[in-house]
Amino acid sequence: MIYLLLCVGLALLLICGDALVRGAVALSVKLGIPTLVIGLTIVAFGTSAPELVVSLRAVLADAPGMAIGNVVGSNIANILLVLGLPAMIVATDTQQEFIVHNTLYVIAATIIFIALCFVGPLSFFHGAFLFILLIGFLLVQARRAEQHKDAATVLGAEAMEMIDGDAGAPKSNWKIYGLLLGGLVGLPIAAAITVDAATEIARRFNVSDEVIGLTIVALGTSLPELATTLTAAIRGQAALAIGNVLGSNLFNLLAVMGVTAMVAPVPIPEVFLLIDLWVMLGASMLLLPFVLKGHQIGRVPGAVFLAGYLSYMYFLYSPQTKAAANAMEATGALMK
């Protein structure tokens, strides 16, 4: 029953998050808000809504390891799984405008986030600093889009299709407000179901909240990106994938963790400082050789990315890792 609840929670997160984005975009278009503003704010924030509500619920439910695990695990999955799997179908083109800049932004944001974690727990001021960085990034992106007169280049084709109404955005008021209400009400409920079910599973199998957040919850909240990139690859539009992944990772670090830390302190488990944060940085660094030289991410690199993700999942659930984590937790408790 608990597994069914987890599946229901994750499904509701995807459905309600999508409803919120579509409703907000449709309302903004109806009110005459510029496309660039919609893309840089509503679409960008809305697509990170599942990660945000899960992290907020987790930290308020005294499961901070799941909150940070959700973000770190999602960023790792976005690169190794979401980019790796489609690349085995169709090679991903990295010769796109702004991809180099955005890759460097993601790496810089990751390094800054890791540095803050080492002086953690993440507090209100840490969260505010991350959020200010996000606002700065959005202003830079807005300036670039205005200079190039092509918002799709900066925002991504997927976002522009949604804004232009090609992805099923409603026109009638009752449908718009229905989607907004459904998303706003449904997301917190879905987050509560997901976090509670995941926490119960962790207790039953003596697995930490951090590992559940890094794996099951992170994978669940990364499903929209995975579905989008797989569909794009099948349609021969795999070039869209890397832009969407970079944007998602940046918002996870700056918006999701920024807002979460401003709501409640987020303690950083010691194992994250030793392993998981560096895996996230390493995954981001893997993109550098491709984007700097303009090489495609083809089947062989895609297979390597995917193998790396599966190896990381095996490592997290291996008995040796579990024993080491338990010993580290016990040592930390004694030192306190």
**Highest mean pLDDT: which of 40-49, 70-79, 200-209, 238-247?**
70-79
Mean pLDDT within 61-82: 89
Q: What is the DSSP string of 25-45?
A: HHHHHHTT--HHHIIIIIIHH
Amino acid 109: pLDDT: 95
Mean pLDDT within 10-38: 70
pLDDT top residue among 319 and 54:
54
Cα–Cα distance for residue pair 191/51, rounded to 1 Å = 9
pLDDT at position 72 over 90: yes
Percent of the chain with pLDDT over 70: 74
pLDDT at position 19 over 90: no
Q: How far is CA 98 from CA 17, 227, 255, in A?
A: 27, 23, 21
- List pLDDT tens digits, range 176-207: 888 878 877 777 787 778 778 877 877 777 77
Q: What is the mean pLDDT of the chain?
A: 78
- List pLDDT tens digits, range 247-291: 888 889 999 999 999 999 999 988 899 999 999 999 999 999 998
CA angle 14, 46, 39 (to 5 degrees): 130
- The CATH T-level fold of domain 2-335 is A middle domain of Talin 1 (1.20.1420)
Amino acid 93: pLDDT: 76
- List pLDDT tens digits, range 310-319: 999 989 888 7
Q: How far is CA 283 from CA 12, 148, 255, 304, in A?
A: 29, 30, 20, 11
Mean pLDDT within 32-58: 67
At 130, is the pLDDT very low, low, confident or very high (cuts 50, 70, 90)?
Answer: very high
Amino acid 34: pLDDT: 57
Phi-psi region of 302 (alpha: psi -120 to 50; beta: other; left: phi over 0): alpha
CB atoms within 10 A of CB 335: 6
Percent of the chain with pLDDT over 90: 25
pLDDT top residue among 244 and 287:
287
Amino acid 335: pLDDT: 43
The domain segmentation of the chain, as residue ranges, is 2-335
Strand-pairing partners, residue 194, are none
Amino acid 137: pLDDT: 84
